[in-house]
Protein backbone atom coordinates (compact mmCIF):
# COMPACT_ATOMS: atom_id res chain seq x y z
CA UNK A 1 0.00 0.00 0.00
CA UNK A 2 1.21 3.51 -0.77
CA UNK A 3 0.99 5.90 2.15
CA UNK A 4 2.85 9.06 3.07
CA UNK A 5 5.07 8.52 6.09
CA UNK A 6 5.12 9.20 8.95
CA UNK A 7 1.46 8.60 9.83
CA UNK A 8 -0.09 10.77 12.55
CA UNK A 9 -2.33 8.86 14.97
CA UNK A 10 -2.03 11.04 18.05
CA UNK A 11 -5.02 13.33 17.62
CA UNK A 12 -5.81 13.42 21.35
CA UNK A 13 -2.55 15.26 21.90
CA UNK A 14 -3.18 17.85 19.19
CA UNK A 15 -4.64 18.09 15.72
CA UNK A 16 -3.34 19.69 12.53
CA UNK A 17 -5.00 22.99 11.76
CA UNK A 18 -7.56 22.43 9.02
CA UNK A 19 -6.64 24.35 5.81
CA UNK A 20 -10.11 25.89 5.85
CA UNK A 21 -9.37 27.26 9.31
CA UNK A 22 -6.02 28.64 8.16
CA UNK A 23 -7.78 30.35 5.26
CA UNK A 24 -10.29 31.97 7.62
CA UNK A 25 -7.50 33.24 9.88
CA UNK A 26 -5.22 34.59 7.16
CA UNK A 27 -6.71 38.11 6.69
CA UNK A 28 -6.53 38.86 10.41
CA UNK A 29 -2.75 38.49 10.54
CA UNK A 30 -2.21 41.44 8.21
CA UNK A 31 -4.91 43.04 6.07
CA UNK A 32 -7.69 43.04 8.67
CA UNK A 33 -5.48 43.28 11.75
CA UNK A 34 -6.67 45.24 14.76
CA UNK A 35 -7.25 45.16 18.51
CA UNK A 36 -10.81 44.15 19.31
CA UNK A 37 -10.76 46.54 22.28
CA UNK A 38 -9.94 49.56 20.08
CA UNK A 39 -13.36 51.14 19.65
CA UNK A 40 -12.30 54.38 18.00
CA UNK A 41 -11.53 53.25 14.44
CA UNK A 42 -12.40 50.76 11.72
CA UNK A 43 -9.50 48.40 12.46
CA UNK A 44 -10.80 47.80 15.96
CA UNK A 45 -14.39 47.52 14.75
CA UNK A 46 -13.46 44.82 12.22
CA UNK A 47 -11.50 42.89 14.82
CA UNK A 48 -14.33 43.10 17.35
CA UNK A 49 -16.86 41.97 14.75
CA UNK A 50 -14.72 38.95 13.90
CA UNK A 51 -14.29 38.03 17.56
CA UNK A 52 -18.00 38.30 18.26
CA UNK A 53 -18.86 36.17 15.24
CA UNK A 54 -16.52 33.46 16.53
CA UNK A 55 -18.07 33.78 19.98
CA UNK A 56 -21.52 33.25 18.46
CA UNK A 57 -20.33 30.13 16.60
CA UNK A 58 -18.94 28.57 19.75
CA UNK A 59 -21.99 29.50 21.81
CA UNK A 60 -24.31 27.97 19.20
CA UNK A 61 -22.37 24.70 19.30
CA UNK A 62 -22.86 24.57 23.08
CA UNK A 63 -26.47 25.72 23.25
CA UNK A 64 -25.22 28.78 25.16
CA UNK A 65 -25.47 32.55 24.89
CA UNK A 66 -22.52 34.38 23.28
CA UNK A 67 -21.89 36.44 26.43
CA UNK A 68 -21.30 33.18 28.31
CA UNK A 69 -18.20 32.33 26.20
CA UNK A 70 -14.96 33.70 27.68
CA UNK A 71 -11.83 33.34 25.55
CA UNK A 72 -8.67 31.96 27.17
CA UNK A 73 -5.34 30.52 26.02
CA UNK A 74 -6.67 26.94 26.14
CA UNK A 75 -8.40 24.32 28.25
CA UNK A 76 -5.67 24.30 30.91
CA UNK A 77 -6.22 27.97 31.65
CA UNK A 78 -9.98 27.45 31.47
CA UNK A 79 -9.81 24.63 34.01
CA UNK A 80 -7.71 26.76 36.36
CA UNK A 81 -10.05 29.72 36.00
CA UNK A 82 -13.09 27.53 36.62
CA UNK A 83 -11.80 25.72 39.70
CA UNK A 84 -9.59 28.31 41.35
CA UNK A 85 -11.75 31.23 40.26
CA UNK A 86 -14.90 29.66 41.68
CA UNK A 87 -13.12 28.70 44.89
CA UNK A 88 -11.74 32.20 45.45
CA UNK A 89 -15.16 33.72 44.78
CA UNK A 90 -16.71 31.48 47.46
CA UNK A 91 -13.85 31.49 49.97
CA UNK A 92 -15.19 31.25 53.51
CA UNK A 93 -18.61 29.99 52.45
CA UNK A 94 -17.71 26.69 50.75
CA UNK A 95 -14.61 24.53 51.18
CA UNK A 96 -15.18 21.24 49.33
CA UNK A 97 -14.93 20.08 45.71
CA UNK A 98 -15.54 16.71 44.06
CA UNK A 99 -13.69 15.28 41.08
CA UNK A 100 -12.71 11.94 39.53
CA UNK A 101 -9.49 9.92 39.56
CA UNK A 102 -9.23 9.85 35.76
CA UNK A 103 -9.35 13.61 35.23
CA UNK A 104 -6.69 15.46 33.26
CA UNK A 105 -3.83 16.89 35.30
CA UNK A 106 -5.17 20.35 34.41
CA UNK A 107 -8.01 19.56 36.82
CA UNK A 108 -6.24 17.36 39.36
CA UNK A 109 -3.35 19.79 39.87
CA UNK A 110 -5.59 22.82 40.63
CA UNK A 111 -7.44 20.56 43.07
CA UNK A 112 -4.13 19.88 44.82
CA UNK A 113 -3.57 23.64 45.00
CA UNK A 114 -6.94 23.98 46.70
CA UNK A 115 -5.98 21.25 49.18
CA UNK A 116 -2.86 23.21 50.09
CA UNK A 117 -5.11 26.19 50.74
CA UNK A 118 -7.25 24.22 53.17
CA UNK A 119 -9.98 22.95 50.88
CA UNK A 120 -11.18 19.38 51.00
CA UNK A 121 -11.14 17.41 47.73
CA UNK A 122 -13.03 14.17 47.17
CA UNK A 123 -11.54 12.14 44.30
CA UNK A 124 -14.02 9.51 43.18
CA UNK A 125 -13.04 6.14 41.69
CA UNK A 126 -14.22 4.78 38.34
CA UNK A 127 -15.24 1.29 37.36
CA UNK A 128 -13.11 -1.05 35.26
CA UNK A 129 -14.29 0.66 32.07
CA UNK A 130 -13.57 4.19 33.26
CA UNK A 131 -17.07 5.36 34.15
CA UNK A 132 -17.98 7.21 37.33
CA UNK A 133 -21.32 6.39 38.98
CA UNK A 134 -23.64 9.45 39.09
CA UNK A 135 -25.03 8.15 42.37
CA UNK A 136 -21.51 8.16 43.82
CA UNK A 137 -21.16 11.77 42.73
CA UNK A 138 -24.41 12.65 44.46
CA UNK A 139 -23.35 10.81 47.61
CA UNK A 140 -20.08 12.77 47.73
CA UNK A 141 -21.83 16.16 47.73
CA UNK A 142 -21.91 17.82 51.15
CA UNK A 143 -23.46 20.96 52.57
CA UNK A 144 -20.24 22.92 51.93
CA UNK A 145 -19.53 21.47 48.49
CA UNK A 146 -18.97 24.20 45.93
CA UNK A 147 -18.28 22.35 42.71
CA UNK A 148 -18.14 18.98 40.97
CA UNK A 149 -15.69 18.55 38.07
CA UNK A 150 -16.08 15.57 35.70
CA UNK A 151 -14.56 15.57 32.21
CA UNK A 152 -16.80 14.94 29.23
CA UNK A 153 -14.42 12.69 27.26
CA UNK A 154 -11.24 11.23 28.64
CA UNK A 155 -8.04 12.21 26.84
CA UNK A 156 -6.46 8.76 27.22
CA UNK A 157 -9.21 6.18 26.97
CA UNK A 158 -11.87 8.28 25.22
CA UNK A 159 -14.58 7.34 27.72
CA UNK A 160 -17.71 9.53 27.64
CA UNK A 161 -19.02 10.23 31.12
CA UNK A 162 -22.80 10.48 31.80
CA UNK A 163 -22.81 14.28 31.98
CA UNK A 164 -26.58 14.77 31.99
CA UNK A 165 -27.10 12.44 34.96
CA UNK A 166 -24.23 14.00 36.89
CA UNK A 167 -25.29 17.54 36.06
CA UNK A 168 -28.87 16.88 37.14
CA UNK A 169 -27.70 15.64 40.52
CA UNK A 170 -25.49 18.69 40.97
CA UNK A 171 -28.35 21.01 40.07
CA UNK A 172 -30.64 19.26 42.55
CA UNK A 173 -28.10 19.79 45.32
CA UNK A 174 -27.29 23.39 44.41
CA UNK A 175 -23.61 22.87 43.53
CA UNK A 176 -21.78 24.00 40.40
CA UNK A 177 -20.99 21.46 37.70
CA UNK A 178 -17.79 21.90 35.69
CA UNK A 179 -16.68 19.71 32.81
CA UNK A 180 -13.45 19.67 30.85
CA UNK A 181 -14.83 19.20 27.34
CA UNK A 182 -11.61 19.79 25.40
CA UNK A 183 -11.75 16.31 23.83
CA UNK A 184 -15.53 16.26 23.34
CA UNK A 185 -16.30 19.51 21.53
CA UNK A 186 -17.12 18.90 17.88
CA UNK A 187 -16.82 15.11 18.20
CA UNK A 188 -19.88 14.15 20.26
CA UNK A 189 -23.10 15.99 21.15
CA UNK A 190 -22.43 18.64 23.79
CA UNK A 191 -25.21 20.89 25.11
CA UNK A 192 -24.74 22.86 28.30
CA UNK A 193 -28.47 22.91 28.97
CA UNK A 194 -28.93 19.15 28.64
CA UNK A 195 -25.85 18.58 30.82
CA UNK A 196 -26.89 21.19 33.42
CA UNK A 197 -23.30 22.42 33.09
CA UNK A 198 -22.27 25.70 34.73
CA UNK A 199 -18.64 25.80 33.59
CA UNK A 200 -17.21 24.12 30.48
CA UNK A 201 -13.55 24.20 29.41
CA UNK A 202 -12.69 24.15 25.69
CA UNK A 203 -9.61 24.17 23.48
CA UNK A 204 -9.22 24.92 19.75
CA UNK A 205 -6.27 22.69 18.95
CA UNK A 206 -8.17 19.50 19.78
CA UNK A 207 -10.61 20.04 16.89
CA UNK A 208 -8.38 21.23 14.04
CA UNK A 209 -8.16 24.82 15.21
CA UNK A 210 -5.02 26.78 16.11
CA UNK A 211 -3.08 26.13 19.32
CA UNK A 212 -2.96 28.86 21.92
CA UNK A 213 -6.66 29.66 22.22
CA UNK A 214 -9.56 28.15 24.15
CA UNK A 215 -12.65 29.21 26.01
CA UNK A 216 -14.58 28.80 29.22
CA UNK A 217 -18.36 28.68 29.22
CA UNK A 218 -19.53 30.56 32.31
CA UNK A 219 -23.26 30.31 32.98
CA UNK A 220 -24.79 33.77 33.22
CA UNK A 221 -28.14 32.93 34.75
CA UNK A 222 -29.99 30.23 36.64
CA UNK A 223 -27.56 30.17 38.29
CA UNK A 224 -25.23 33.06 37.60
CA UNK A 225 -21.72 31.75 38.16
CA UNK A 226 -19.31 34.08 39.92
CA UNK A 227 -15.57 33.70 39.40
CA UNK A 228 -12.57 35.58 40.72
CA UNK A 229 -10.25 36.37 37.77
CA UNK A 230 -6.86 34.69 37.60
CA UNK A 231 -5.22 37.66 35.89
CA UNK A 232 -5.90 41.39 35.82
CA UNK A 233 -5.18 44.31 33.56
CA UNK A 234 -7.88 45.85 31.41
CA UNK A 235 -11.07 43.98 32.22
CA UNK A 236 -11.36 42.11 28.93
CA UNK A 237 -13.80 39.19 28.54
CA UNK A 238 -16.38 40.38 31.07
CA UNK A 239 -13.56 41.14 33.47
CA UNK A 240 -12.76 37.45 33.81
CA UNK A 241 -9.69 37.26 31.57
CA UNK A 242 -7.74 40.44 30.99
CA UNK A 243 -5.40 40.62 28.01
CA UNK A 244 -5.56 41.48 24.33
CA UNK A 245 -7.75 38.97 22.53
CA UNK A 246 -5.72 37.12 19.81
CA UNK A 247 -8.08 37.88 16.94
CA UNK A 248 -6.63 35.47 14.32
CA UNK A 249 -6.66 32.59 16.80
CA UNK A 250 -10.20 33.34 17.94
CA UNK A 251 -11.38 33.52 14.33
CA UNK A 252 -9.75 30.15 13.70
CA UNK A 253 -11.38 28.70 16.79
CA UNK A 254 -14.80 29.83 15.66
CA UNK A 255 -14.30 28.43 12.17
CA UNK A 256 -13.03 25.11 13.53
CA UNK A 257 -16.08 24.77 15.76
CA UNK A 258 -18.45 25.62 12.91
CA UNK A 259 -16.84 23.03 10.64
CA UNK A 260 -16.87 20.37 13.33
CA UNK A 261 -20.56 21.02 14.03
CA UNK A 262 -21.44 20.73 10.34
CA UNK A 263 -19.52 17.49 9.85
CA UNK A 264 -19.80 15.87 13.27
CA UNK A 265 -22.22 13.04 12.49
CA UNK A 266 -20.63 11.93 9.22
CA UNK A 267 -17.11 12.27 10.61
CA UNK A 268 -18.00 10.30 13.75
CA UNK A 269 -19.26 7.45 11.58
CA UNK A 270 -16.12 7.53 9.44
CA UNK A 271 -13.76 7.64 12.42
CA UNK A 272 -15.66 4.88 14.19
CA UNK A 273 -15.27 2.71 11.09
CA UNK A 274 -11.52 3.32 10.92
CA UNK A 275 -11.13 2.64 14.64
CA UNK A 276 -13.03 -0.64 14.36
CA UNK A 277 -10.97 -1.58 11.30
CA UNK A 278 -7.73 -1.09 13.24
CA UNK A 279 -9.01 -2.93 16.28
CA UNK A 280 -10.22 -5.93 14.29
CA UNK A 281 -6.91 -6.27 12.46
CA UNK A 282 -4.98 -6.21 15.72
CA UNK A 283 -7.36 -8.49 17.58
CA UNK A 284 -7.31 -10.98 14.76
CA UNK A 285 -3.52 -11.27 14.71
CA UNK A 286 -2.38 -10.76 18.32
CA UNK A 287 -3.00 -12.59 21.56
CA UNK A 288 -2.87 -10.84 24.91
CA UNK A 289 -4.66 -7.74 23.65
CA UNK A 290 -6.69 -5.71 26.17
CA UNK A 291 -9.04 -2.83 25.37
CA UNK A 292 -8.86 0.00 27.90
CA UNK A 293 -12.05 1.94 28.47
CA UNK A 294 -15.71 1.34 27.72
CA UNK A 295 -16.27 -0.55 24.43
CA UNK A 296 -19.15 1.71 23.38
CA UNK A 297 -19.18 4.91 25.45
CA UNK A 298 -16.03 6.34 23.91
CA UNK A 299 -14.87 8.89 21.36
CA UNK A 300 -15.23 7.55 17.81
CA UNK A 301 -11.54 8.00 16.99
CA UNK A 302 -10.11 6.65 20.24
CA UNK A 303 -8.45 3.29 20.77
CA UNK A 304 -6.41 2.56 23.89
CA UNK A 305 -4.86 -0.91 23.98
CA UNK A 306 -2.53 -2.83 26.25
CA UNK A 307 -0.30 -5.56 24.83
CA UNK A 308 0.57 -8.20 27.40
CA UNK A 309 4.26 -9.06 27.76
CA UNK A 310 5.40 -5.99 25.83
CA UNK A 311 7.23 -2.96 27.15
CA UNK A 312 5.18 0.05 26.11
CA UNK A 313 8.12 2.41 25.79
CA UNK A 314 10.00 -0.09 23.63
CA UNK A 315 6.93 -0.56 21.43
CA UNK A 316 6.49 3.19 21.10
CA UNK A 317 10.16 3.61 20.16
CA UNK A 318 9.88 0.91 17.51
CA UNK A 319 7.00 2.66 15.74
CA UNK A 320 9.12 5.39 14.19
CA UNK A 321 6.82 5.92 11.23
CA UNK A 322 3.54 5.78 13.18
CA UNK A 323 2.93 8.59 15.67
CA UNK A 324 1.01 7.29 18.70
CA UNK A 325 1.32 7.80 22.44
CA UNK A 326 2.31 5.45 25.23
CA UNK A 327 0.10 4.97 28.24
CA UNK A 328 3.09 6.11 30.27
CA UNK A 329 4.19 9.69 30.64
CA UNK A 330 7.73 10.64 31.57
CA UNK A 331 8.29 13.13 34.32
CA UNK A 332 11.95 14.13 34.23
CA UNK A 333 13.75 10.84 33.58
CA UNK A 334 11.38 8.65 35.58
CA UNK A 335 8.65 6.75 33.70
CA UNK A 336 5.32 7.35 35.45
CA UNK A 337 2.50 4.87 34.81
CA UNK A 338 -0.75 6.32 33.46
CA UNK A 339 -2.93 7.42 36.38
CA UNK A 340 -5.97 6.81 34.16
CA UNK A 341 -5.21 3.14 33.47
CA UNK A 342 -4.17 2.65 37.08
CA UNK A 343 -7.57 4.00 38.16
CA UNK A 344 -9.21 1.35 35.96
CA UNK A 345 -7.50 -1.30 38.08
CA UNK A 346 -5.11 -2.48 35.38
CA UNK A 347 -1.98 -4.29 36.63
CA UNK A 348 1.18 -2.22 36.28
CA UNK A 349 2.47 -4.54 33.55
CA UNK A 350 -0.54 -3.72 31.37
CA UNK A 351 -0.45 -0.03 32.29
CA UNK A 352 3.12 0.15 31.03
CA UNK A 353 2.27 -1.88 27.91
CA UNK A 354 -0.34 0.46 26.49
CA UNK A 355 -0.74 2.59 23.39
CA UNK A 356 -3.14 5.49 22.95
CA UNK A 357 -4.23 5.77 19.33
CA UNK A 358 -6.11 8.85 18.18
CA UNK A 359 -7.55 8.66 14.65
CA UNK A 360 -8.40 11.96 12.99
CA UNK A 361 -9.95 13.89 10.15
CA UNK A 362 -7.22 13.34 7.58
CA UNK A 363 -6.43 9.67 8.23
CA UNK A 364 -7.26 7.09 5.55
CA UNK A 365 -8.05 3.40 5.50
CA UNK A 366 -4.67 2.68 3.91
CA UNK A 367 -2.93 4.45 6.78
CA UNK A 368 -4.92 2.42 9.29
CA UNK A 369 -3.94 -0.83 7.56
CA UNK A 370 -0.29 0.20 7.50
CA UNK A 371 -0.37 1.13 11.20
CA UNK A 372 -2.02 -2.17 12.11
CA UNK A 373 0.68 -4.12 10.31
CA UNK A 374 3.50 -2.13 11.89
CA UNK A 375 2.05 -2.54 15.39
CA UNK A 376 1.53 -6.27 14.84
CA UNK A 377 5.06 -6.78 13.54
CA UNK A 378 6.69 -4.91 16.38
CA UNK A 379 4.59 -6.50 19.12
CA UNK A 380 5.50 -9.95 17.82
CA UNK A 381 9.16 -9.00 17.47
CA UNK A 382 9.34 -7.62 21.02
CA UNK A 383 7.62 -10.71 22.40
CA UNK A 384 9.91 -13.10 20.57
CA UNK A 385 12.95 -11.15 21.76
CA UNK A 386 11.67 -11.28 25.35
CA UNK A 387 10.99 -15.01 25.03
CA UNK A 388 14.54 -15.68 23.82
CA UNK A 389 15.97 -13.69 26.71
CA UNK A 390 13.76 -15.65 29.09
CA UNK A 391 15.17 -18.92 27.81
CA UNK A 392 12.92 -19.69 24.86
CA UNK A 393 9.35 -20.78 24.51
CA UNK A 394 6.05 -19.02 24.10
CA UNK A 395 5.17 -16.20 26.47
CA UNK A 396 2.17 -17.12 28.62
CA UNK A 397 0.64 -13.63 29.00
CA UNK A 398 0.27 -14.53 32.65
CA UNK A 399 0.94 -11.00 33.90
CA UNK A 400 -2.08 -9.53 32.15
CA UNK A 401 -4.72 -11.16 34.37
CA UNK A 402 -7.24 -9.76 31.90
CA UNK A 403 -9.64 -11.28 29.36
CA UNK A 404 -9.19 -10.81 25.64
CA UNK A 405 -10.31 -7.44 24.32
CA UNK A 406 -14.03 -6.88 23.90
CA UNK A 407 -15.81 -5.77 20.76
CA UNK A 408 -15.39 -2.02 20.38
CA UNK A 409 -17.81 0.24 18.60
CA UNK A 410 -19.98 3.28 18.96
pLDDT tens track for 90-109: 999 999 999 999 999 999 99
The whole-angstrom separation of Cα 42 and Cα 364 is: 44
Note whether 189 and 312 are same-domain residues. no
The whole-angstrom separation of Cα 133 and Cα 13 is: 27
Of the residues 230, 260, 290, the one at which a domain ends: 260
The whole-angstrom separation of Cα 250 and Cα 407 is: 40
Closest CA to 36 of 49, 50, 48: 48
pLDDT reading at 228 higher than 50: yes
Measuring CA to CA, how many Å separate 385 from each of 315, 348, 349?
12, 21, 17
Residue 373 lies in a domain: yes
111, 170, 196, 330: the active-site residue: 330
> Across the chain, what does the average pLDDT equal?
93
The whole-angstrom separation of Cα 203 and Cα 395 is: 43
The fraction of the chain above a pLDDT of 90, given in percent, is 89
Of the residues 239, 260, 281, the one at which a domain ends: 260
**Whether 111 is catalytic:** no
The whole-angstrom separation of Cα 318 and Cα 334 is: 20
Note whether 305 and 358 are same-domain residues. yes
Note whether 142 and 290 are same-domain residues. no
Q: List residues bridging with 334 in a β-sheet.
A: 331
- Give the β-pairing of 176-180 and 334-336: unpaired
Residue 299 lies in a domain: yes
Beta-carbon count within 10 A of 406 CB: 14
Q: At what angle do helices 75-89 and 105-116 cross, to 10 degrees?
A: 30
Specify whether the CB–CB gap between 236 and 220 falls below 8 A: no
3-class DSSP state for residue 42?
helix
pLDDT reading at 115 higher than 90: yes
Angle at 409 between CA 340 and CA 295, to 5 degrees: 35
- Confidence (pLDDT) at 94: 97
Residue 396 lies in a domain: no
**What DSSP string runs through 64-91?**
--GGGEEEESSHHHHHHHHHHHHHHHTB
Specify whether the CB–CB gap between 297 and 153 falls below 8 A: no
Note whether 79 and 136 are same-domain residues. yes
pLDDT tens per residue, range 144-174:
999 999 999 999 999 999 999 999 999 999 9
The whole-angstrom separation of Cα 285 and Cα 205 is: 34
- Confidence (pLDDT) at 239: 84
Q: At what angle do helices 247-283 and 42-62 cross, to 10 degrees?
A: 30
Note whether 198 and 336 are same-domain residues. no
Note whether 232 and 344 are same-domain residues. no
Note whether 229 and 285 are same-domain residues. no
**Which H or E element spans position 355?**
strand 354-358
**Which H or E element spans position 335?**
strand 334-336
The whole-angstrom separation of Cα 188 and Cα 152 is: 10
Q: List residues bridging with 180 in a β-sheet.
A: 201
CATH number of the CATH domain containing 328? 3.90.1150.10
pLDDT band at 405 (very low <50, low <70, confident <90, very high): low
Note whether 316 and 345 are same-domain residues. yes
pLDDT band at 331 (very low <50, low <70, confident <90, very high): very low
Q: In b/e form, how buried is each residue of 172-190, taking b as 16+ CB within 10 angstroms?
A: eeebbbbbbbbbbbbbbeb
Give the residue, 328 or 49, on which the prediction is more confident.
49
Note whether 35 and 116 are same-domain residues. yes
Specify whether the CB–CB gap between 230 and 81 falls below 8 A: yes
Specify whether the CB–CB gap between 301 and 11 falls below 8 A: yes
Mean predicted confidence (pLDDT) in 371-399: 81
Question: Domain range holding 269?
Answer: 7-13+264-389
- Confidence (pLDDT) at 389: 84
The whole-angstrom separation of Cα 11 and Cα 275 is: 13
Residue 315 lies in a domain: yes
Note whether 143 and 254 are same-domain residues. yes
pLDDT tens per residue, range 54-95:
999 999 999 999 999 999 999 999 999 999 999 999 999 999
Residue 2 lies in a domain: no
The whole-angstrom separation of Cα 336 and Cα 315 is: 16
Of the residues 222, 239, 260, the one at which a domain ends: 260
pLDDT reading at 402 higher than 80: no
Residue 42 lies in a domain: yes
pLDDT reading at 332 higher than 80: no
CATH number of the CATH domain containing 211? 3.40.640.10
Note whether 36 and 184 are same-domain residues. yes
Domain count along the chain: 2
Residue 309 lies in a domain: yes
pLDDT tens per residue, range 166-200:
999 999 999 999 999 999 999 999 999 999 999 99
Specify whether the CB–CB gap between 164 and 194 falls below 8 A: yes
Residue 405 lies in a domain: no
Note whether 169 and 237 are same-domain residues. yes
> Which residues are CB-contacts of 226 (< 8 A; sequence separation ≥ 6)?
86, 89, 90
Please tell me the number of Cα atoms within 13 Å of 89 on its side-chain side: 17
**Which H or E element spans position 367?**
helix 365-389
- Confidence (pLDDT) at 390: 82
Query: SS3 helix, strand, coil % of the chain, rounded to 5?
Result: 40, 15, 45
Amino acid sequence: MAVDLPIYLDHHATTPTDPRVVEAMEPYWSRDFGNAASHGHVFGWRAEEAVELARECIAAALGAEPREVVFTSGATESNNLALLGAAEAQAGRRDHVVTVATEHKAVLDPCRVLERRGWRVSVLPVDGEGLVDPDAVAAAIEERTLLVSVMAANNEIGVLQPLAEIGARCRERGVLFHTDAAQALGKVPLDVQDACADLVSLSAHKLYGPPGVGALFVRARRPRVRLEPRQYGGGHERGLRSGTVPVPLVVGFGRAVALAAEERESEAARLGGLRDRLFERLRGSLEGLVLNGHPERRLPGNLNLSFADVDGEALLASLRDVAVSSGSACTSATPEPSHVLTALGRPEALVRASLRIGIGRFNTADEIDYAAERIRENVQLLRSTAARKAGGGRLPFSDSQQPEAEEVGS
